[in-house]
Amino acid sequence: MLSGDLTLDLYLCPFLYQQINATFWTQVRSIINMMDLDQEKELVERAKSNAEAFGELYEKYYAPIFGYVLRRTASVTVAQDITSEVFLKALKNLRQFHWRGIPFSSWLYRIASHEIANHYRLNSRQQVSMESNSNSVSFSDPGIESEVLSAEAELEKHEDFLALHRNISQLPSKYQEVIVLRFFEDKQLKEISTILGKREGTVKSLLHRGVEKLREIME
């Protein structure tokens, strides 16, 4: 009973068991991720010319992207507008998206980060509003208005988040995005570096300095 003995030995040595267990699950996770990426790659290729496949991608990523933009902007209406822009840009540029090991989700997050930065830049200059963008997707749905009102009411209930967001929003954009991606979106440094197109070391130092600056603001 070799496996029984091995299990017993591992239980007797909790540290070793923990290490092997962690390594095992890391490997399992990486295999699953690779499988997911392969499937996603195939889906992205199909989505370039197939509405159903694009719909599948959209359904998969609408909620994460909307959530990310909402947690960056703390405004349901702005999140709604920016999410629309993100998916419109993704759709328009999908044929130019070439798989180079960067997950599709990272590409969407990158577009979203750019759109958020654009939104703040345009608002600060007070020149152009999102609504005046001639390329934006337009649709009228009376259900959306009432839905937005109840979503705004729901957002108001998250007082801790809103207070934290008010402080984060005082930081320069480069710190805001790494803090939100790391702590609110639960992204690892490697993924953040892929999304932002920055080196992992740069992201690490941005995160460190961002947290330090946030601490100063909150004091």
Residues that bind other proteins (CB under 8 A): 49-52, 54-55, 58-59, 62-63, 66-67, 70-71, 76, 80, 83-84, 87-88, 91-92, 94, 137-139, 141-144, 147-148, 151, 154-155, 158, 160-161, 164, 179, 183-184, 211-212, 214-215, 218-219
Q: Provide, rounded to whole angstroms, the least separation between the CB of residue 197 and other proteins.
A: 24
3-state class percentages of the chain: helix first, strand second, coil last, to nearest 5: 80, 0, 20
Return the number of the residue (13 or 63) whose C-beta is nearest other proteins. 63
Q: Provide, rounded to whole angstroms, the least separation between the CB of residue 189 and other proteins.
A: 14
Tell me how far apart the alpha carbons of residues 178 and 113 are, in angstroms, rounded to a whole number: 10
From residue 109, alpha-carbon distances to 26, 98, 134 in Å are 24, 16, 23
Q: Provide, rounded to whole angstroms, the least separation between the CB of residue 79 and other proteins.
A: 8
SS (H, E, C) 147-205: HHHHHHHHHHCCHHHHHHHHHHCCCCHHHHHHHHHHHHCCCCHHHHHHHHCCCHHHHHH
Return the number of the residue (31 or 217) whose C-beta is nearest other proteins. 217
Q: Provide, rounded to whole angstroms, the least separation between the CB of residue 20 and other proteins.
A: 27
Q: Provide, rounded to whole angstroms, the least separation between the CB of residue 151 and other proteins.
A: 5
Mention every residue, 6+ apart, whose C-beta is less than 8 A from residue 35: none
Return the number of the residue (17 or 62) whose C-beta is nearest other proteins. 62
Return the number of the residue (14 or 55) whose C-beta is nearest other proteins. 55
Task: Please say whether the beta carbons of 165 and 155 come within 8 A.
Answer: no
Return the number of the residue (65 or 195) whose C-beta is nearest other proteins. 65
